């Protein structure tokens, strides 16, 4: 029987840099002890107090169909958090609850893209972006951000690709680079989007993880709320990755249309999970800061170790749970470096090939190990890099 071209072409052939990850997982299954820095998953579980609320809500009977757009108290809580963080007036009518940020990204593109439409995104990118755009029936077009600018996307580069485009997908704080887009960068993005009548889809799942400067949402810029769709999630801010609880924030009519899509796809999020998310949000900004704190500390640990040598450099990581290293002075490609590092030093990282072509010669470290293990992993990595360079 025939499988649709939509799904046959959803992802490209080959491992796209993920062969290193699959090899690392196989080694772990085989009993090899690895220091694993591949995936952006907290090294703590979801807080027991949140799980207790989830349990209470389930036992209390909130296991049937919940309101498809999200329960009103949760939509209101997300709106209040957004307004507090951005200063933009936001109400529950501007919020759609989705099964995680990934479902929000898909729904946002379905909302603004017709089949064949051109949709832009920034390279380097989170790995699902191209497939998400293709799944919505649009043509994905990557716009490269450059290492020499700290991976801040340039307005001129976006504008050069914008002719005929209907949307631009951005991510700040950024996975994989750790870049936090500056006001200048976002002003340039806003100008291009307004000049070309494009939507901006802003993935802000790391908005609670900012180490330098402050997070700025493009929705907060003049005349941008009407053309902005912001995707958020409790995955990173509350260590609730497996709960699949996210949202889209946007204009009222757009959110109503996206809710109609949910009726015909996901049919919403289980009520007991929404109740747990509502409880998590009630813990406030101080709780989010506590969940984020280890990554700020670990960012500083990694930078301190890298500063002790002079040929491997780190891209300034101003936010999120990642650091990117420039390993080009070793003479190896990123994939070669990661494979040899895995095989010889038992340290697992990801080549930037996994996230596009703009960061060729770089690797990404997820700072998701306890501090002592992280120090050991990065020390091994730098010792390995030194040995490779000396042998060249």
Phi, psi of 319 (to 5 degrees): -170, 175
Cβ distance 201 to 129 under 8 Å? Answer: no
Q: Select from 338, 337, 325, 323 the least CA-distant residue to 368.
A: 323
* pLDDT of 14 over the 70 cut: no
What percent of the chain stands above pLDDT 90?
92
- Alpha helices (H) in the chain, listed in sequence order: 5-8, 19-29, 48-59, 72-86, 100-112, 129-135, 155-161, 183-195, 252-263, 271-282, 284-306, 334-345, 371-391
Can you list the domains of the chain with their CATH numbers? Answer: 5-45+292-391 (3.90.1150.10), 63-285 (3.40.640.10)
If one compares 115 and 8, the residue with the highest pLDDT of the two is 115
3-state secondary structure of 249: strand
Q: Model confidence over 140-195: pLDDT tens digits? A: 999 999 999 999 999 999 999 999 999 999 999 999 999 999 999 999 999 999 99
Q: Model confidence over 238-259: pLDDT tens digits? A: 999 999 999 999 999 999 999 9
Query: What's the distance, CA 260 to chain centroid?
Result: 25
Other Cβ atoms less than 10 A from the Cβ of 114: the count is 10
Q: Model confidence over 64-121: pLDDT tens digits? A: 999 999 999 999 999 999 999 999 999 999 999 999 999 999 999 999 999 999 999 9
3-state secondary structure of 120: strand
Cβ distance 20 to 339 under 8 Å? Answer: yes
CA distances from 349 to 24, 165, 327 (A): 9, 34, 12
């Amino acid at each position: 029987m025939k499988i649709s071209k939509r799904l046959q072409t959803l992802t490209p052939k080959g491992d796209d840099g993920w062969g290193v990850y699959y090899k690392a997982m196989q080694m772990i299954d085989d009993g090899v002890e690895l220091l694993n820095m591949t995936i952006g998953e907290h090294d703590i579980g979801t807080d027991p107090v949140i799980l207790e609320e989830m349990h209470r809500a389930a036992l209390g009977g909130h296991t049937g169909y919940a309101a498809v757009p999200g329960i009103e108290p949760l939509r209101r809580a997300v709106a209040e958090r957004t307004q507090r963080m951005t200063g933009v007036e936001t109400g529950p009518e501007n919020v759609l609850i989705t099964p995680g940020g990934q479902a929000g990204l898909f729904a946002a593109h379905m909302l603004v893209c017709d089949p064949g439409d051109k949709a832009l995104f920034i390279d380097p990118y989170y790995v699902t972006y191209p497939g998400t755009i293709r799944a919505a029936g649009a043509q994905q077009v990557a716009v490269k951000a450059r290492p020499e600018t700290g991976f801040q996307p340039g307005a001129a580069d976006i504008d050069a690709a914008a002719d005929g485009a209907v949307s631009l997908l951005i991510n700040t704080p950024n996975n994989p680079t750790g870049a936090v887009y500056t006001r200048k960068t976002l002003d340039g993005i806003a100008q291009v989007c307004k000049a070309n009548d494009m939507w901006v889809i802003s993935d802000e799942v790391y908005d609670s993880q900012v180490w330098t400067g402050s997070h700025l949402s493009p929705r907060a810029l003049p005349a941008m709320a009407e053309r902005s769709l912001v995707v958020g999630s409790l995955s990173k801010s509350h260590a609730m990755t497996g709960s699949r609880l996210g949202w889209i924030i946007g204009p009222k009519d757009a959110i109503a249309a996206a809710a109609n899509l949910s009726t015909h796809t996901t049919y919403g999020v289980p009520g007991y999970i929404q109740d747990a998310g509502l409880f998590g949000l009630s813990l406030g900004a101080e709780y989010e800061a506590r969940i984020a704190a280890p990554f700020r500390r670990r960012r500083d640990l990694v930078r301190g170790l890298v500063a002790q040598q002079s040929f491997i450099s780190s891209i300034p990581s101003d936010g999120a749970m990642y650091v990117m290293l420039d390993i080009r002075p070793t003479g190896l490609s990123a994939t070669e470096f990661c494979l040899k590092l895995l095989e010889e030093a038992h340290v697992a990282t990801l080549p930037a090939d996994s996230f596009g072509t703009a960061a060729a010669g770089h690797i990404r470290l997820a700072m998701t190990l306890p501090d002592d293990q992280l120090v050991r992993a990065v020390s091994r990595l730098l010792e390995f890099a030194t040995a490779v360079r000396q042998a060249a």
